[in-house]
Structure 1
Amino acid sequence: MENLELWVGVEPTVSRVGDETLDQLALSGFDRRLEDIDRLASVGARAVRFPLLWERTAPDGPEHADWRWADERLARLAGHGVTPIVGLVHHGSGPRGTHLLDPAFAEGVRAYARAVAERYPHVDAYTPVNEPLTTARFSALYGHWYPHARDERSLWRALLHQMRATVLAMGEIRKVNPAARLIQTEDLGFVHSTPALRDQAGFENERRWLSLDLLMGRVDEHHPLWDHLRRVMGATEAELRPFAEHPCPPDLVGLNVYVTSERFLDERLHRYPPHTHGGNGRARYADVEAVRVLGEGIGGPGARLREAHDRYGLPLAITEVHLGCTREEQLRWLHETWQAAQDARREGADVRAVTAWAALGAFEWNSLLTRRSGHYESGLWDVRAPEPRPTALLGLARDLAAGRPPAHPVLGGPGWWHRAERLTFPPHGPVHADPPAGRPLLITGATGMFGQALARACEGRGLPHLSLSCRDLDPADSASVERTLKDHHPWAVVDAAGVVRMDAAEHDPRIPHENVPGPQVLARACAKEDVRLLTFSSDLVFGAREGVRLPFLESDAPGPLNASGRARLAAEEGVLARLPGALVVRTGALFGPWDPQNFAAHVRRELQAGRRVRAARDRVVSLTFVPDLAHAVLDLLIDGETGIWHLAHAAAVTWADFARQVARVSGLDPDGVEGVDAATLPLPASLPSALASERGWPLPSLSSALERWSAQVENLERELTAAD
């Protein structure tokens, strides 16, 4: 048997909710960047799941198809020697003139498939309809997507039309290319339950195979769901017989496996929030993610591969493996899936490939595509940048494709789905949980705002870390630093020490000691031990731009106007001179829920007391929410980013406007904020400058940050009140 292959794919869903369409290819930019084909080929993948979607290419019928986009990209894939697996419908309803409950849907897909095959006769791998059962459930049983039906008879109609479309499409394709292969994908989950709901779980675990069983010709009078299909779902023998009499078995079964694909059913409703409550008409129960309640944990991709092998004995692949999470968890999920596929192969399953998905990330899947909130999950690249920015996932994918042992240090620890914090509900059954493991991250400045925020982030992400205060480690003492690195063998150091209060810092004698020599000593020691280094700077390295409101970019020349800014600039230059591969992050004005002294907390406190707040109306500032900063810098550090980065929320505002936003999100009167000229305010140091980035924009919106800040502050206030 050949070695396990790496495939790659982009998230291409064209979803419809009501009259609004959400196009993942447009959101990610894949629809306009031809060079993305080169990026995909650079992974070392043998095949690409290529979206040649009906509603994008031929919305007015095959005779009016526009092939230019596909022509360019398929030709370039061929030049790289990468096999395309062409998808025709991906979680879509087709063009506006049809939908999943339309009997003409299947004929429309057939006509389009014939046109595609005639245009590209060399293409020999197809997925006519991606995840037909999953799409039918979401569109016709749960009502999330168009046409928003919510009953089992509609579920059958939607599934029937997609399965007919698949069979008819492959028939037309094989008339042109008899060797064409059907790569049929489905999200293969698993349902766990309490003993009282064992029958319901068994029914759902049987139903998950239905799309594949239909293609295999297995759905007849002996099938476990035959009576349910006929009696409850309204399927007729005339609809079912053709599948049994004329099977269209896949040449390869593609399993799409997610952490959330496994569910748990529990009749004890009081344990779970109301939005999880549902039922089957006979019993009421909660339907939750199994990973959040099941003490033994989930089966994951290995269990699903073994099940599919036992049931069908066909060639298999993992055709989607994505995790919308922090970077180390994304790495762990892909790596674990690859290992599970290798293990299944050793046990006799014919597993051909694992697909790195979604290469360019995914948008709005946190709401199952039902709303537009700007939510984005990065993939092998992060598209929140002038050009897609490679992440650590790309390095891992290349290692897997080349057969190299992955070496990233964060892979030494278990994913969150194995750790104790996964359990957000009372556990069902004995709990098995793995502790964080692997080489630590060393954090200096443990008692400061940066240090505490980073420690919290590491704790939540399962990143072993060691937080050291100035009593534990003097960053300016080279002997102390070198001894600490040798003793603890960290994979990276985060220098969170230093003074962040710009006004107090103007005449603070600690500045030369903490902000200049310390980072330079750390840089020299990290270079010697081959350890990554992250250190912080600020917008104070720049001066004001008179008469303009343009923010400063990383490439702009610094010009500090105060002592803190000059110290920060000297530290930056010293660090990069000694360790050019260091990561230096400049932040905007900081605010966070645990710091009662920042400007946002001051505004909230003063307005709550009924006092007016005076704030500059003529100075533009960029803000940085400390928890967002902590997670973003850890991602960048894991990605291996180097050099200077600006991390601030995109919306630069005046101090007065920011104060009014704080008031609104806190439920206070924004008219209590008085905008004044900065010259009238008693500020010993010059005010910060606005920042923007030419490298990437990993932080969420300022409005989102403020909403979360307010919620966290309110929670802390309630905890303090309860403690009193």
Structure 2
Amino acid sequence: MAKNFLKHIKTRFGEGNYAGDEFGGAGGRDGSGLPTGDPGNFMFATGIECSYPTIDHGKTRRDLLAECGHYDRWKEDLALVKDMGLKVLRYGLPYYSIHLGPGKYDWEFADQVMAEMQRLEITPILDLLHFGVPNWLGDFQNPELPVYFAEYAEAVARRYPWVRYYTPVNEVFVTARMSAKDGIWNEQLKSERGFVTAIKHLVAASIMANQQIAQVRPDCIIVQSESAEYIHELRANPCARIKLENKLRFLALDLLYAHHPDADVLNYLYDNGMTREEYDWFMAGEPPGYQVMGNDYYGRNERIILPNGEECTSMDVLGWYNITHEYYLRYRKPVMHTETNVFNAHEAPTWLWKQWVNILRMREEGIPVLGFTWYSLIDQVDWDIGLAQKIGKVNACGLFDLDRNPRKVSVAYRQLLQEYGQITIVPHGEMFQVTKEPAILKVEV
């Protein structure tokens, strides 16, 4: 009786562990182990909460870097990032206190922090505008904002030329809504026209900042952090207003990525102050560099409107995967999970794993996911009320508390890093490493 093929293979090559298997075969790496920071690797990150809007009609500045103790303990905070095994940090320099006026800057704090970050080999995703502007610029109704903010972005890029990853304007949609529609921050308006004015100024500021950064770093990677939201209206006859709201959540990215919105959204823009000339300017094309769509997701991002009009937070009905998948199909950009947390420290480890399941599901769809961020490194203050009042309530959502003691979620994150820390952005991502070549392609095919 003739030998079967396995007998021939075993006679010639042995019982297994064949030569060559270490190169991605049965003996290849599985992606476990702490992150190495190699190009093409998935980016595991945290962030340091850095919001600085004004409330009380400009009389009170909510600087979370101060309220959470970072100005005094920045070196300790950066060491915690390093100790966690993380290579990436979403970090916001305090724009309002650095940009003192046209062409005038105070770099003292920024220089110290950035030098230490470079020494520790932490890759920053540098956040340039996080919910507020310097007093001399006023607020987001100021049409000069794009010009002066672009000046600041260029100054940052030239001062720290080793930085490649940027978020020019964090959460444009949320910034405009909270400042000009909900009446909570900065200009504290409650008008549709104020909202449209804020959002067009913020997107224009982001675009022009991106232009200036690209002159210094033609290979810049722009991680646009935006809130992934949805309103579930439980009525047999949904109202036109909620339908419009579920389209307006795309507005910031539509303008940023030159994606024509639906006709009712376009009419809304024209009805509330956007000119045809301004609209055509936004639709001319997306900004330079490599564009990454960062989606922030908290369970409270989803809301339910009951038949009687009552509103409740739905906590993870669609979840990050379903909402972000919708955004991905709209813009076709590489994705990053740029923020998540829960305020209940006991529930945080489970929430972390749930978010990771969402990311694994996205990867199974073949969608390139650049990274994941637990936001933030340390606990926050008053975010349960959107910073509307200065009460000082601690939100237990950090990897560490305000005394820099680890919370349970930090243990879970370390476990996640140990298990998945060396995976690539997509399977076999070694073939498609993030290179330092300048971004040059304009047309996507």
Residues 105 and 165 in structure 1, CA contact (< 8 A), matched pair in contact too: yes
One-letter identity of the residue aligned with 1:290: S
What residue in structure 2 maps to residue 54 of structure 1? 95
Residues 261 and 372 (structure 1 numbering): CA distance in 2 closer, same or farther, change over 3 Å?
Answer: same
Whole-Å separation in 1 of the counterparts to 2:324 and 2:366: 11
Residues 404 and 199 (structure 1 numbering): CA distance in 2 closer, same or farther, change over 3 Å?
Answer: same
What residue in structure 2 maps to residue 389 of structure 1? 405
1:239 Cα deviation from its structure 2 partner: 1.3
Whole-Å separation in 1 of the counterparts to 2:277 and 2:306: 37
Whole-Å separation in 1 of the counterparts to 2:87 and 2:144: 36
What residue in structure 2 maps to residue 323 of structure 1? 342
What residue in structure 2 maps to residue 14 of structure 1? 52
Instruction: Please state whether the residue corresponding to 2:101 is helix, strand or coil.
Output: coil
What residue in structure 2 maps to residue 277 of structure 1? none
Matched, 1:260 2:300: yes
1:204 Cα deviation from its structure 2 partner: 1.5
Residues 100 and 147 in structure 1, CA contact (< 8 A), matched pair in contact too: yes
One-letter identity of the residue aligned with 1:340: N
What residue in structure 2 maps to residue 175 of structure 1? 215
What residue in structure 1 maps to residue 416 of structure 2? 400
What residue in structure 1 maps to residue 250 of structure 2? 209
Residues 331 and 396 in structure 1, CA contact (< 8 A), matched pair in contact too: yes
What residue in structure 2 maps to residue 239 of structure 1? 278
1:3 Cα deviation from its structure 2 partner: 5.5
1:395 Cα deviation from its structure 2 partner: 1.6
Residues 526-547 of structure 1, C-alpha deviation per residue, up to 9 Å, x if partnerless? xxxxxxxxxxxxxxxxxxxxxx
What residue in structure 2 maps to residue 287 of structure 1? 311
Whole-Å separation in 1 of the counterparts to 2:100 and 2:84: 32
Residues 54 and 109 in structure 1, CA contact (< 8 A), matched pair in contact too: no
Residues 15-56 of structure 1, C-alpha deviation per residue, up to 9 Å, x if partnerless? 210211111000111122222111112222231111113102
One-letter identity of the residue aligned with 2:361: D
1:267 Cα deviation from its structure 2 partner: 4.4
Q: How do residues 444-523 of structure 1 correspond to structure 2 at under 5 angstroms?
A: none
Residues 339 and 45 (structure 1 numbering): CA distance in 2 closer, same or farther, change over 3 Å?
Answer: same
Residues 322 and 358 in structure 1, CA contact (< 8 A), matched pair in contact too: yes
One-letter identity of the residue aligned with 1:364: D
Residues 228 and 301 in structure 2, CA contact (< 8 A), matched pair in contact too: yes
What residue in structure 2 maps to residue 313 of structure 1? 332
Matched, 1:339 2:365: no
Q: How do residues 144-183 of structure 1 correspond to structure 2 at under 5 angstroms?
A: 144-183=184-223
Same amino acid, percent of matched pairs: 27
Residues 99 and 134 in structure 2, CA contact (< 8 A), matched pair in contact too: no
What residue in structure 2 maps to residue 43 of structure 1? 84
Instruction: Please state whether the residue corresponding to 1:225 is helix, strand or coil.
Output: helix
Whole-Å separation in 1 of the counterparts to 2:252 and 2:134: 19
Residues 118-166 of structure 1, C-alpha deviation per residue, up to 9 Å, x if partnerless? 1011111111110011110111011011211101000000001101100
What residue in structure 2 maps to residue 361 of structure 1? 379
One-letter identity of the residue aligned with 2:325: R
One-letter identity of the residue aligned with 2:164: D
Residues 62-89 of structure 1, C-alpha deviation per residue, up to 9 Å, x if partnerless? 42x2222222222222222221111111
Residues 256 and 94 (structure 1 numbering): CA distance in 2 closer, same or farther, change over 3 Å?
Answer: farther
Residues 417-438 of structure 1, C-alpha deviation per residue, up to 9 Å, x if partnerless? xxxxxxxxxxxxxxxxxxxxxx
1:246 Cα deviation from its structure 2 partner: 3.1
TM-score, scaled to structure 1: 0.50
Residues 309 and 350 in structure 1, CA contact (< 8 A), matched pair in contact too: no
Residues 380 and 195 (structure 1 numbering): CA distance in 2 closer, same or farther, change over 3 Å?
Answer: same
What residue in structure 1 maps to residue 174 of structure 2? 134
Residues 228 and 320 in structure 2, CA contact (< 8 A), matched pair in contact too: no
One-letter identity of the residue aligned with 1:399: Q
One-letter identity of the residue aligned with 2:253: L
1:223 Cα deviation from its structure 2 partner: 4.9
Whole-Å separation in 2 of the counterparts to 1:72 and 1:223: 49
1:317 Cα deviation from its structure 2 partner: 0.8
Candidates 64, 68, 71, aligned match of 1:28: 68
Residues 498-518 of structure 1, C-alpha deviation per residue, up to 9 Å, x if partnerless? xxxxxxxxxxxxxxxxxxxxx
Candidates 112, 118, 128, aligned match of 2:158: 118
What residue in structure 2 maps to residue 73 of structure 1? 113
Which consecutive residues of structure 2, in runs of 5 or more, have no partner in the other structure? 1-30, 32-39, 422-445
Higher Cα radius of gyration = 1
Whole-Å separation in 2 of the counterparts to 1:20 and 1:267: 38
One-letter identity of the residue aligned with 1:369: L
1:264 Cα deviation from its structure 2 partner: 1.7
Residues 49 and 62 (structure 1 numbering): CA distance in 2 closer, same or farther, change over 3 Å?
Answer: farther
Residues 253 and 73 (structure 1 numbering): CA distance in 2 closer, same or farther, change over 3 Å?
Answer: same
Whole-Å separation in 2 of the counterparts to 1:348 and 1:95: 45
1:224 Cα deviation from its structure 2 partner: 4.8
Whole-Å separation in 1 of the counterparts to 2:88 and 2:77: 14
Residues 101 and 136 in structure 2, CA contact (< 8 A), matched pair in contact too: no
Whole-Å separation in 1 of the counterparts to 2:188 and 2:420: 46
Residues 59 and 393 (structure 1 numbering): CA distance in 2 closer, same or farther, change over 3 Å?
Answer: farther
Whole-Å separation in 1 of the counterparts to 2:347 and 2:328: 27
Instruction: Please state whether the residue corresponding to 1:130 is helix, strand or coil.
Output: coil
1:251 Cα deviation from its structure 2 partner: 1.2
One-letter identity of the residue aligned with 1:350: P
Residues 310 and 246 (structure 1 numbering): CA distance in 2 closer, same or farther, change over 3 Å?
Answer: closer
Structure with higher RCO (Cα < 8 A, 6+ apart)? 2
Candidates 145, 148, 153, aligned match of 1:105: 145
Whole-Å separation in 1 of the counterparts to 2:197 and 2:420: 47
1:198 Cα deviation from its structure 2 partner: 5.1
Instruction: Please state whether the residue corresponding to 2:118 is helix, strand or coil.
Output: helix
Whole-Å separation in 2 of the counterparts to 1:341 and 1:129: 24
CA RMSD of superposed structures (Å): 2.0
1:404 Cα deviation from its structure 2 partner: 5.9
1:265 Cα deviation from its structure 2 partner: 2.2
Residues 173-201 of structure 1, C-alpha deviation per residue, up to 9 Å, x if partnerless? 11112111211111111111123225333
1:61 Cα deviation from its structure 2 partner: 4.1
1:59 Cα deviation from its structure 2 partner: 3.0
Residues 183 and 252 in structure 1, CA contact (< 8 A), matched pair in contact too: yes
Whole-Å separation in 1 of the counterparts to 2:213 and 2:411: 36
Instruction: Please state whether the residue corresponding to 1:195 is helix, strand or coil.
Output: coil
Deviating 4+ runs (over 6 angstroms): none
What residue in structure 1 maps to residue 22 of structure 2? none
Whole-Å separation in 1 of the counterparts to 2:382 and 2:88: 26
Size of the aligned set, in residue pairs, is 377
Instruction: Please state whether the residue corresponding to 2:100 is helix, strand or coil.
Output: coil
1:5 Cα deviation from its structure 2 partner: 2.9
Residues 188 and 304 in structure 1, CA contact (< 8 A), matched pair in contact too: yes
Residues 363 and 376 in structure 1, CA contact (< 8 A), matched pair in contact too: yes
Residues 53 and 87 in structure 1, CA contact (< 8 A), matched pair in contact too: no
Instruction: Please state whether the residue corresponding to 2:237 is helix, strand or coil.
Output: helix
1:96 Cα deviation from its structure 2 partner: 4.2
Matched, 1:196 2:237: yes
Residues 305 and 341 in structure 1, CA contact (< 8 A), matched pair in contact too: no
TM-score, scaled to structure 2: 0.81
Residues 223 and 253 (structure 1 numbering): CA distance in 2 closer, same or farther, change over 3 Å?
Answer: farther
